[in-house]
Amino acid sequence: MTGERDWRDGTRCVHAGLPEPEPGQPFLPGPVFAAPYHLDPERGPAASPNGYGRGDNPTRRLLEAAIGELEGGDCRVFASGQAAITGLLLAVLRPGDTVLLPADGYYTVRSFAAETLTGLGVTVRYAPTAGPYPALDDVRLVLLETPANPGLDVCDIAALAERTRAAGTLLAVDNTTATPLGQRPLELGADVVVASGTKALTGHSDLLLGYVATRSVDLLATVTGWRTTTGGIPGAFDAWLAHRSLGTLDLRLARQTTNAGAVARLLAARTDVTGVRWPGLPADPAYPVATAQMARVPGIVSFDLGDADRVARFLAASRLVAAATSFGGLHTTADRRAQWGDDTAPGFVRLSCGVEDTADLVADLTAALDASAPAAA
């Protein structure tokens, strides 16, 4: 009989974190909302793990077990991806430490570093996702985001992990864009994974979630203690919604990747679109590393329409693409990143492919691009 370790992605997603079947109970028990739970009058909190909801919650434990199974480590969930990343940074770094962050990664992390970490006496350095990386001997932690958001560069995790191990440096990988079905950083040598579950992991654009996953008992204890003390936990209903959504992760990602490939090829063939990036395109600079490292390329495509006005015309002309930030949901969305203060060109677009029929999406994008094309000179 095939064991759980041999299950493929779709089966793993459907069964991840579910309790043993119990007659009369649903596959996934409903959310446990209470923050204070009844205590045993004699034994007190020792009688049950559920003593107070900030420290533990049965609904949250099931979700953590599920994500942990997919990532290949132990997991702690947070109220958002940003809460997970900043929680890891603040739990691990001390005054006098040096942290290396992605120069082309999520801009809010860079803002946090500049506004908070430097004020705490942490030295912040930056390196582009695709490298080159400096000497790491005096670096306490390297935070890597691959594929990078929003530019989609890719780093060889295993190669960088070899360098961090030799230097005694912790390696954290932001797995938001790839998800654990796209790559498993812990298996490639990373010490810890951080991610936003708000996006493709849960995929319905209806909740906020983040997580930290690791195989290190000490690091897990540090992160757990930080979360308990600071209280950055998700609510029980968000945790339940997230776990419910995991069952369709494989199906959603498969369609999103298919759509992204078709859209990337469409965009690359047009003369009125520049800077097309999708690591699944053979001509993309990230293609060699991405195809060797990743089980699937995510459903995100980036490109440049020249200016903000054309982006607005493109979105107005499209019937299927909604203007929205965040990404990874069921519906195709586009975000002009410069409007948020991100250091991208005015016409740069991050397109998140949804699960619409591929032919419909390509036809809609073609029509919208034609309608918004610059007038011929």
Give per-residue pLDDT as tens, 116-169: 999 999 999 999 999 999 999 999 999 999 999 999 999 999 999 999 999 999
Cis peptide upstream of residue 95 (ω within 30 degrees of 0): no
What average pLDDT score do residues 229-236 get? 96
Least confident of 70-74, 221-225, 278-282, 341-345: 341-345
Q: What pLDDT is stored for residue 91 in this prediction?
A: 97
Banded model confidence at residue 377, pLDDT cuts 50, 70, 90: very low
Which domains does the chain carry? Answer: 4-246 (3.40.640.10), 250-371 (3.90.1150.10)
Q: What pLDDT is stored for residue 2 in this prediction?
A: 44
Complete edge-to-edge strand list for the sheet that includes strand 98-102: 74-78, 210-214, 192-196, 170-174, 141-145, 98-102, 123-127
As a whole number, the mean pLDDT across the chain is 95
CA nearest 305: which of 376, 368, 234? 368
> What is the chain's alpha carbon radius of gyration, rounded to the nearest angstrom?
21
Asked whether the beta carbons of 243 and 28 are under 8 A apart, the reply is yes
What's 40's DSSP letter?
A: B
Cis peptide upstream of residue 132 (ω within 30 degrees of 0): yes
pTM (2 d.p.) = 0.95
How far is the C-alpha of 369 from the C-alpha of 357, rounded, in Å?
Answer: 18
Neighbours of 338 (CB within 10 A): 16
The CA-based dihedral angle spanning residues 195, 118, 156, 205, taken in that order and rounded to the nearest 10 degrees: 20
